[in-house]
């Protein structure tokens, strides 16, 4: 299977990452208008975690990619052309947010994994950079995010976050991810598969 080893981040001549990607250009071209942060990402992502599909009421957060406490980095991203100058503040821009369960939110903020937009797949992909066993099942799978949505997260913001993940785990080499499209993480299917496997094991033991 073809794989992307996650090489050095690609930049255009204007030092804008992924500026030549069709989906990125589309996302950048839409103003967020009057959409507030909370309503914008709820309308886009629904009430489930975009990574693990967890959806217990009260346990899914409206998560910022660039922390709301870091307006300086947001300003620098604007000044350097990583995101459009017309975007809202770091707190209120819906394309600076995703819906994450509390577990995934914690791991994202602690730089245990990163999210990379893979242009060959036109998907946002989970990368288990720190190689945590708990994230092994998610590695290489697509997130429930549509890159062509008018309020799709800015791809460049995930690169900004990935840079911090790389710095936190500088001794680790990038894990490859498949270049072919994959489905989303389906916990219900996983449970059924595990249950069937367990049943087979029990029958074998009785024999």
pLDDT of residue 187: 63
SS3 content of the chain, % helix, strand, coil (to 5): 35, 15, 50
**Digit-coded pLDDT (tens) for 39-54:** 899 999 999 999 999 9
What pLDDT digit, counting tens, does each position of 71-101 carry? 999 999 988 888 888 888 999 999 999 999 9
pTM (2 decimals)?
0.77
Whole-number Å distance between alpha carbons of 118 and 2: 13
| pLDDT reported for residue 9 | 53
What pLDDT is recorded for position 72? Answer: 95
Q: What is the pLDDT of residue 192?
A: 33
How far from each other are the two terminal CA atoms of the chain, in whole angstroms?
Answer: 38
- What is the structure's pLDDT at 105? 97
Tokens describing residue 103:
């577990």
Q: pLDDT per position in the chain (207 positions), as tens?
A: 455 555 455 444 444 444 444 444 444 445 555 568 888 999 999 999 999 999 888 899 999 999 999 999 999 998 888 888 888 899 999 999 999 999 999 999 999 999 998 888 889 999 999 999 999 999 999 999 998 898 999 988 999 999 999 999 989 887 888 878 888 887 654 433 333 333 333 333 333
């Amino acid at each position: 299977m073809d794989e992307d080893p996650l090489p050095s981040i690609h930049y255009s001549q204007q030092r804008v990452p992924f500026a030549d990607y069709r989906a990125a250009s589309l996302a950048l071209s839409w103003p967020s208008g009057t959409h507030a942060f909370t309503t914008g990402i709820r309308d886009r992502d629904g009430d489930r975690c975009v990574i693990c599909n967890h959806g217990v009421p009260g346990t899914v957060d409206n998560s910022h990619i660039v922390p709301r406490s870091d307006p300086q980095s947001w300003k620098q991203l604007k000044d350097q052309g990583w995101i459009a100058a017309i975007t809202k503040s770091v707190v209120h821009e819906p394309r600076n947010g995703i819906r994450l369960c509390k577990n995934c939110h914690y791991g994202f903020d602690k730089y245990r994994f990163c999210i990379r937009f893979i242009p060959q797949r036109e998907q946002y992909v989970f990368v288990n950079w720190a190689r945590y066993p708990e994230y092994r099942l998610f590695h290489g799978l697509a997130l429930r995010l549509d890159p062509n949505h008018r309020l799709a997260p800015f791809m460049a913001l995930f690169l900004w976050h990935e840079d911090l993940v790389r710095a936190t785990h500088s001794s680790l080499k990038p894990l490859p991810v498949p270049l072919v499209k994959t489905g989303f993480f389906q916990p219900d299917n996983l449970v059924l598969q595990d249950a069937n496997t367990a049943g087979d094991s029990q029958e074998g033991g009785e024999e």
